[in-house]
Chain A
Amino acid sequence: MSPSRDLAIAFDKSACRKDYEQAFAKLLVAMPRMPRRELAEHFIALEALLDDGMVEVKTAMLTEGLLSPRDYQLLGHWIYRQHHNLMRLGAKAVHACAADSKVDTARTMRLLALTFLHVGDSVKWELMAGRHYPRDYPALHGLMKLAIAKRRQGERGELVVDGMRREATLEQLYLRTLLLDRFASGPLTSEEIEVLDAWLWEWGDALRFEARHEGGLVMRADLDANGGLAFGPRNAPGVSLYLHLEPLEDLRRAVINELHRGHVVPHVGRAASMPIQAHVAVLLQLRKLFSGAGSPESPRAPRRGMLGDKMEVLVGAQEILAALGPRKPEARRLTPRNASATGYLFVTSDKATEDIAVGTLLGLRVDPREPPVLGRVVRRVHEVDDGWHLGVEVLSDPSVPIRAASLESDGGKSHDLVFVPGSDRSGRFDSFAVDYGLLGRHERYRLRAGAAVYSLALNRVRRRGRDWALAGFEILEAATA
């Protein structure tokens, strides 16, 4: 019954996956009758087996082009399910062992550490597979309460993660999960969350909580609540744990300093081979988090529910440009669930969003008679029993319509793109939605507008997305046409 380390462990093969599933199922069935000490041993062996078998598969999944889309989806979902199942089994085993005096506390805490590890991994892999199981925050907080009750939350132990030996405390593993959870709701891609996770492992010493808020910018976990990290001190009665954000911001800056020196952090492991774009994206997201954006004090546009009217959604610059011309292209229609001055939330099916990712440029026809409003996907996540949630940030002022424009370069080549006027009449906040390729050229362009031909140069990026950027520009000169 015990899972053998001789099992062929490479989970890209379906036979190996089946072997593992059988080993898991046997342990699950035998668990109620099994002596607790034995249960702990079997769980630890099963966990090691899962980690061994996943190392290469996970790397392959995060390397573009190695797997077919079907294999990618299948394996992503399988990995997510295994982490989730093992985490649930682990939680039961921890409570069973904690209640049995024959199992020493150190062994129970080891089970607890491994369980936290897999809660975190299942959160991470939601980005690949979508969220298919509701998050069980009370169970997660319950495990932390157990560690605190045993006074073991700060105890350091060794773990093997993705084939690498790591040391971590229980509070570090708990906070890792809660921080990953904060980002698993959509703003990061699977590559980016891998980078974030690698940094969280590096920053273990700063992942410590305090039982009281004694000033400073903090996030807190309310141990009696059904929720993840929240900002600021708790105003209601109850037990909370506080995480200081200033030391984490210092560590984020240290990563930037290393990049200035030409070093990626960490220099080994899966994250080290991720593109620099992923590192920069995480740095920017963390900057927001560590400066308190999203806290109750930070301003948030008021939400308003929608009546469920479908909205035309144009995907990518080409569709948007076509919609700005005389021939109106066929556009998909999505239903916004809520809206604010800054964005929309759409809830939709798999099929309608399969080519939409975080960073995709969208045109939203808020009023069917008017040009579309420009938007950028900032969140894409699958929610249990609800479908795909697409969060869209509005990029253009709906009161000043976007329009098609054609820039002519010195060589006479013309580039069709979207002009995005700012709301300010000075023109300081005007932009063009351009292809990345255009940004690297540092060329001068000509554009006829009204009675003049303007010469301009793109000189800054205001927003960026997948293969496009909203570029600011300066007018170099104007001549009568």
Chain B
Amino acid sequence: MASGGGRDLRTLTAKQVEKLLAAAAKTRPADPRSREAARVRDRYIAVRFEGIARSSADLSDPERVIKAARLQFEEGHPEAALELIELAVEQDRSEPSLWLAELELAFLLRMRRHFIETARAFREAHPGTDAWTEIDRLGRALAPDEPTFRERGKRAHDHYGPWPHLPNWIGAPWDLTSEVLGADFHAAMTQGAPQR
């Protein structure tokens, strides 16, 4: 049972097989129905996230997507932030950073059900992930009664105070350079303008 490229599939790891299948799917001609579905999805993404993404192709850069989602969240559009991440996860379930950003947003929004369901789906897609300890910790704070978040030997709440530390999977910047530049720019643009 040789695969394209002359390799024996039995010697490949699960991840390598997954990659080969994904590559094969990309070269397979799409049937008209799925082409139309891709067109509608792309159009929806372009309209819903105007200025952020022009099509699903623009969601293939996790770092960019997470940053855009964080900005949406910070501007008071949590639904758009979550939806953007969800679209990117739907497109690439193998990228853990997207899942983790979705989990952190759900946590920040206190979306208990969403957090639990996403955590379960993430664990299924990424068994043995290193991030589970952190997810488990957040999960216990958000949903203390939920059996999904019960690592053996752990307490229900393993932090002091009302709020656990956040893992910063949404990439909030520690470097304030861009913030300082933004404030300088605002001052320069409004300088001399009559303040009413």
Q: Chain A: residues with CB nearer than 8 A to chain B?
A: 256, 259-264, 276-277, 279-280, 287, 367, 370, 398-401, 403, 405, 419, 421-422, 425-430, 436, 439-440, 442, 449-452, 454, 456, 458-462, 464, 469, 471-472, 474-478
Contact = CB atoms under 8 A, between A and B. Distances in A.
B75 interface: yes
A296 to B, nearest CB: 22
Contacts of B11: none
Interface stretch (B44-52, B95-103, B140-148, B158-166): B44-52
A460 B51 contact: yes
Given A401-B193, A449-B185, 13 more contacts: A262-B37, A277-B47, A401-B190, A401-B194, A405-B189, A421-B189, A428-B182, A439-B51, A449-B189, A462-B75, A472-B51, A475-B181, A475-B185
A475 B79 contact: no
B183 interface: yes
Contacts of A419: 189
A399 B195 contact: yes
Contacts of B184: 427, 452, 475, 478
Contact of B39 (A260, A262, A405, A464): A262
Contact of A260 (B44, B68, B183, B188): B44
Interface in B24-51: 34, 36-41, 43-44, 46-51
A450 B187 CA distance: 9
B52 A450 contact: no
Interface centre among B38, B178, B181 (most CB of A within 10 A): B181
Given A460-B71, A469-B51, A430 B87 contact: no
Contact residues of A: prevailing secondary structure: mixed
Nearest to A470: B51
B73 to A, nearest CB: 11
In order of increasing CB-CB distance, the 9 nearest A-B pairs are: A262-B37, A427-B186, A450-B188, A449-B188, A427-B182, A262-B41, A475-B181, A461-B51, A262-B40
Nearest to A464: B50
A454 B71 contact: no
A460 to B, nearest CB: 5
Contacts of B118: none
A474 B52 CA distance: 12
Given A280-B47, A426-B186, A428-B182, A261 B195 contact: no
- Among B44, B51, B189, max chain A CB count under 10 A is at B51
Contacts of A458: 51
A400 B189 CA distance: 11
Nearest to B72: A460
Contact of A454 (B43, B48, B86, B181): B181
Contacts of B40: 259, 262-264, 276
Contacts of B188: 449-452, 454
Residue of B36, B38, B72, B193 most packed against chain A (CB within 10 A): B193
Interface string B85-120: 011001000000000000000000000000000000
A387 B90 CA distance: 49
B83 interface: yes
Contact of B195 (A260, A263, A400): A400
A260 B185 contact: no
Given A276-B43, A469-B51, A260 B182 contact: no
Interface of B: 34, 36-41, 43-44, 46-52, 54, 68, 71-72, 74-75, 79, 83, 86-87, 90, 178-179, 181-191, 193-196
Contact of B187 (A398, A403, A425, A442): A425
Contacts of B195: 399-400
Contacts of A450: 187-188, 191
A425 B83 CA distance: 30
Contacts, number: 128
Contacts of A471: 51
B182 A475 contact: yes
A403 B193 contact: yes
17 contacts: A259-B44, A260-B44, A398-B196, A403-B193, A422-B186, A425-B186, A440-B46, A449-B185, A449-B188, A461-B50, A461-B51, A469-B51, A471-B51, A472-B71, A472-B75, A475-B184, A475-B185
A263 B37 contact: yes
A434 to B, nearest CB: 9
B187 A477 contact: no
Given A370-B194, A401-B194, A459-B68, A280 B51 contact: no
B17 to A, nearest CB: 25
Contact of B182 (A280, A367, A430): A430
Contacts of B186: 421-422, 425-427, 430
Contacts of A279: 44
Contacts of A426: 179, 182-183, 186
Contacts of B90: 260
B83 to A, nearest CB: 7
Give the interface centre of A276, A280, A419 by most chain B CB atoms within 10 Å: A276
Contacts of A478: 181, 184-185
Contacts of B194: 370, 401
Nearest to B54: A440
Contact of B193 (A264, A400, A469): A400
B173 to A, nearest CB: 11
Given A263-B37, A459-B51, A461-B52, A280 B44 contact: yes
Most buried by B among A259, A367, A398: A259
A383 to B, nearest CB: 31
Nearest to A259: B44
A448 to B, nearest CB: 9
Contacts of A259: 40-41, 44
A370 B196 contact: yes
A403 B36 CA distance: 43
Nearest to A451: B188
B84 to A, nearest CB: 10
Contacts of B68: 459-460
Contacts of B41: 259-262
A436 B50 CA distance: 9
